[in-house]
A and B are shown apart, each in its own frame.
Chain A
Amino acid sequence: MARMKFLCDAERCIECNGCVTACKNENEVPWGVNRRRVVTINDGVVGAEKSISVACMHCSDAPCMAVCPVDCFYKTDDGVVLHDKDLCIGCGYCFYACPFGAPQFPQSGAFGLRGKMDKCTFCAGGPEPDQSEVEFKKYGRNRLSEGKLPACAEMCSTKALLGGDGDVIADIYRDRVVRRGKGSEVWGWGTAYGPGNASGGSSQPQPAQRKATR
């Protein structure tokens, strides 16, 4: 059973913002809302500057789901965390609970009016008929139902951003780390998917394990 996850390789991300643009274009996200963004740390410091692409990580034990007062969140069979916008009251609890700052709120009205929450859907749409106009308007494109992966990951020019089943993308990353011999830290995986255990397979593989797999 696939458990959809994102993985961003900080050694490869070149801060091109292609993922952000791809997401905005594919889902026609309203002005002021960025489902995905690129964060850079140690900006300008030679050798220490790293960039990562951040959006909803579709956590294993999602804190947004736990705090929602109207229970508008659900998790699909593929592990994608989605929500029903017809139920959302825009309270913002999920924003405060999310460690990644993923929930976004359109503020198109007067006096700082906050709309219904919008976030990355892993390009899986929402609780409306698949590939329908109403689903697209509310949640964006449903690429999973078309047999495609999220636009951000598929558009990433350096393949820094990987999207898909956790086991598959972890294997790709593991192979990459072994070949280059550095950069084994996966940002956000521990926070989103937990420390992992023997059955969960959510933890990032350790260097010793990587060598053993070769």
Chain B
Amino acid sequence: MIRIVLLMALLSLSACGEREQIAEGKRSYQGKPDSQPWNNEPLGAEHRGGKWTKGDRASWEADIKARQLAQHEYKRIEQ
């Protein structure tokens, strides 16, 4: 009888536990995967595209960096 009472008391108090209720805050993207810009063939010269090797990130970054530096008019003028 005592065992049953103890068991019931244990079960009835099981919902009173102090659990962590703070969300972890980890978010994960649920959408479709995107491709990388360097995994494309560069456009032709007539479209003023860059020159990099398809799939080579370093060459794409070097190419886009040259394009960024073209925004520096002091250097552009002094060239």
Residues from chain A with Cβ under 8 Å of B69 in the complex: 168, 172
| A175 in contact with B37 given A146-B47, A147-B49 (CB within 8 Å) | no
Residues from chain B with Cβ under 8 Å of A153 in the complex: 71
B25-75 interface (Cβ within 8 A of A) = 25, 27-37, 39-40, 42-43, 47-52, 60-61, 63-65, 67-69, 71-74
Bound: A163/B61 CA distance, A = 14
| A144 in contact with B64 given A78-B37, A172-B72 (CB within 8 Å) | yes
Give the number of residues in A that approach B within 8 Å (Cβ atoms): 46
Proximity bits, A122-149, B CB within 8 Å = 1, else 0: 0011111111000000000010111111
Residues from chain A with Cβ under 8 Å of B50 in the complex: 146-148
Query: How far in angstroms is the closest Cβ of chain A from B37?
Result: 4
Query: How far in angstroms is the closest Cβ of chain A from B60?
Result: 7
Give the number of residues in B that approach A within 8 Å (Cβ atoms): 34
Asked if A149 contacts B31 (CB within 8 A), the reply is no
Residues from chain A with Cβ under 8 Å of B64 in the complex: 2, 144, 147, 149, 164-165
Closest 7 CB pairs of A and B: A147-B50, A84-B31, A164-B68, A74-B29, A145-B37, A127-B32, A127-B34
Show the binding face of B for A, using Cβ within 8 Å: 25, 27-37, 39-40, 42-43, 47-52, 60-61, 63-65, 67-69, 71-74
Show the binding face of A for B, using Cβ within 8 Å: 1-2, 65-66, 68, 70-74, 76-78, 82-84, 86-87, 124-131, 142, 144-149, 153-154, 159, 162-165, 168-169, 172, 175-176, 179
